[in-house]
Amino acid sequence: MNGAYAAAAAADPFACAASFLTSLISSLSSPDALQLSHEQVEEAAENGARELARLLLQAHLDLRAQAEQATLTCLGSPARAALGDGRTRLEKGHQRQLATLVGTVTVSRCALRCPGETNTYPADRVLNLPHGRHSLGLRKLAVLEACRSSYDTAIEAIDRRCGTRQLGKRQAEELVKAAAADIDAFYAARTPEPAGRDTLLVLSFDGKGIVMRPGHLREATEKAAMRAKRTFRTRLPAGEKTCRKRMATLAVVHDADPVPRRPHDIIAPPGGRTGTRRPRKGPRARAKWLTASVEHDPEHVIKAAFDQAEARDPQHRRRWVVLVDGATHQLDLVRAEAARRDVIVHIVLDIVHVIEKLWAAARCFHTATDPETETWVGTKAARVLAGDAPGAIADIRTEAARLRLTDDQRAAADTACRYLTNNADHIHYDQALKAGWPIASGIVEGAARHLVADRLDITGSRWSVPGAEAVLTLRALISNGDFPQYWAFHTHRECERLYPRPRQHNDARMA
């Protein structure tokens, strides 16, 4: 009976799946099943459906193996040589295991052999099998889960989906690194949608530190860590750093239509809003493109952002607005890149950073709980927004002198004044608001929290440069909404790398 069943299964690879389905239906309709709770039936149906899917996949692969064997057997030596790069000897019965979303299956295929050469497997090219045990579907799931949460949590989610342990933590890390290999090529091959000449082209940049493993810090940080002397053994005192972070640079490029506004659209006037006039909202970002890197220096990221901007406006006909946080090195890189491309950029200092400096300065004149602090900040910010930053600076210094504050007492006020003075060329907010430009870099600030803090900065995370770079760039890709298109691009490129020969008509006949 067993021999007859095996012969029937060989004749019809789907016989086993059909038999299992019949058995599953019988089990779920049995008198014993009618006594089970819905939860128990649900679990049995889920497990049965997964096993049925695995048997169907296995049957399909067995059917293709039969077709391949029949086709190659009928081919003559010249045809086999063309198919196998000169290999003509046919050897049947080669197998490999493939871990999939529904369980592990066996892929049977034929080998074409030649003395002194490695085997070639035509079916691997037809099926686009990756090198390694894990299927492309399982790799895709691993990438999405690992980019969403920690590797431990990702493995648990994959186990729940697949029913059994299909890959380990280290394997998931390697799959994520491999999945990020084609991101640069993907974006280099894409052409952004064009926009009108009056549409603003906005670029913004930010940095965020990532805790790294030993040996993966930048050279300067590594030296600082070696020189650092810890005051306490168990904690850090105020102002002391661990020197364990490597800075990631983030950049956002987006389009926006100009929206003219006034200072009181940005900040409420002293005493609050009356409610008679609703504040206008700022320019709305669209077609956002985000990139980030912890492996490369800021120059690389800024160049990539300018590449994206230039792809959107190759003739430099649109108005380019660059939002910065005032970092001198960042400003120098932006100016150098703009000069190299001969493009005019309008640099605007992020108003949020200005207001933060003013809040710190307010502590020099008011207590932490004084309600007048808000009025003080609002008055100074409104003056800066109206284009009178020098007047705001003079007021702050005059007030500090009138109160005869010591150097320590007025330190935050002096810092705010220096910040405004050093960035005087980039705080013409009256002109920016009148022209309808954005003046806050909330998009890139939010991206820093989303890309880095929500994943790479979770408790206990310590990263290598390749691992952090892969997760960071994949999260940026997913945030851009480009993952489905990228995955198709990546799998096609991977197929070209593994099987460089073009597919021929013989492959189609074996499919």
Residues 274 and 313 grouped into a single domain: yes
Q: Are 344 and 472 members of one domain? A: yes
The pTM score is 0.85
The 3 state secondary structure assigned to 279-327 is CCCCCCCEEEEEEEECCCCHHHHHHHHHHHHHHHCCCCCCCEEEEECCC
| Residue 149 is assigned to a structural domain of this protein | no
Q: Are 208 and 332 contained in the same domain?
A: yes
pLDDT of residue 502: 47
Q: What is the mean pLDDT of residues 90-116?
A: 93
Position 221 scores a pLDDT of 64
pLDDT in tens, 476-496: 999 999 999 999 999 999 999
Looking at the DSSP assignment, which residues form a beta bridge with residue 291? 251
User: Measured between alpha carbons, how far is 97 from 58 in angstroms, rounded to an integer?
Assistant: 11
Buried residues in 467-481 as b, exposed as e (16+ CB within 10 A)? bbbbbbbbbbbbbbe
Domain shared by 215 and 313, yes or no:
yes
- Residue 222 belongs to some domain of the structure: yes
What pLDDT is stored for residue 441 in this prediction?
A: 87
Degrees to nearest 5, angle at CA 120 with 118 and 123: 160
Task: Quote the CA–CA distance of 393 and 361 in Å, as a whole number.
Answer: 11
What is the average pLDDT across 83-95? Answer: 88
Reply yes or no on whether the pLDDT at 463 is more than 70.
yes
Q: Which domain holds residue 227?
A: 195-350+440-477
Contact present, 438 and 283 (Cβ < 8 Å): yes
The whole-number pLDDT of residue 227 equals 57
DSSP for 453-470 reads IIIITSTT--B-HHHHHH
**What pLDDT digit, counting tens, does each position of 357-398 carry?**
999 999 999 998 898 998 999 999 999 999 999 999 999 999
Phi, psi (5° rounding) for residue 457?
-110, 20
The answer to whether position 186 is within a domain reads no
Question: Is the C-alpha dihedral spanning 111, 112, 113, 118 positive or negative?
Answer: negative
Name the least confident of 120-129, 166-175, 494-503. 494-503
**Residue 398, burial from CB neighbour count under 10 angstroms (0-12, 13-18, 19+):** exposed
Both 199 and 344 in a single domain?
yes
Is 180 a member of any domain?
Answer: no
Q: Are 308 and 320 in contact (CB under 8 A)?
A: no
Whether residue 147 is contained in a domain is answered as no
pLDDT, mean of residues 50-76:
94
162 has a pLDDT exceeding 70: yes
Q: How far apart are CA 52 and CA 48, in angstroms?
A: 6
- On whether residue 410 sits in a domain, the answer given is yes
Q: What is the pLDDT of residue 235?
A: 61
Query: Above 50 in pLDDT, residue 5?
Result: no
The two tokens of residue 436 are: 């309808």
Question: Is there a single domain that holds both residue 385 and residue 267?
Answer: no
Confidence of residue 275 (pLDDT cuts 50, 70, 90): low
Query: Mean per-residue pLDDT for 123-139?
Result: 93
Domain contains 142: no
Do 118 and 7 lie in a common domain? yes
Strand pairing partners for 491?
Answer: none
Mean pLDDT score of the chain, rounded to an integer? 89
The pLDDT assigned to 268 comes to 77
Do 308 and 417 fall into the same domain? no
**pLDDT surpassing 70 at residue 173:** yes
Instruction: Compute the average pLDDT of residues 450-474.
Output: 91
Identify whether residues 344 and 356 lie together within a single domain.
no
Query: Rounded to an integer, what is the distance from CA 482 to the centroid of its chain?
Result: 10
Radius of gyration of the chain (CA): 31
Q: Is the pLDDT of residue 140 over 90?
A: yes
Residue 164 lies in a domain: no
Amino acid identity at 207: G
Same-domain status, 257 and 382: no
pLDDT band at 222 (very low <50, low <70, confident <90, very high): low
For the residues 469-478, what does the mean pLDDT come to? 95
In the predicted structure, residue 509 carries a pLDDT above the cut 60: no
Residues 368 and 345 placed together within one structural domain of the fold: no
CA-CA distance, 357 to 188, in Å (whole number)? 39
Average pLDDT on 163-176 reads 92
415 and 444 together in one domain: no
Number of independent structural domains in the chain: 3
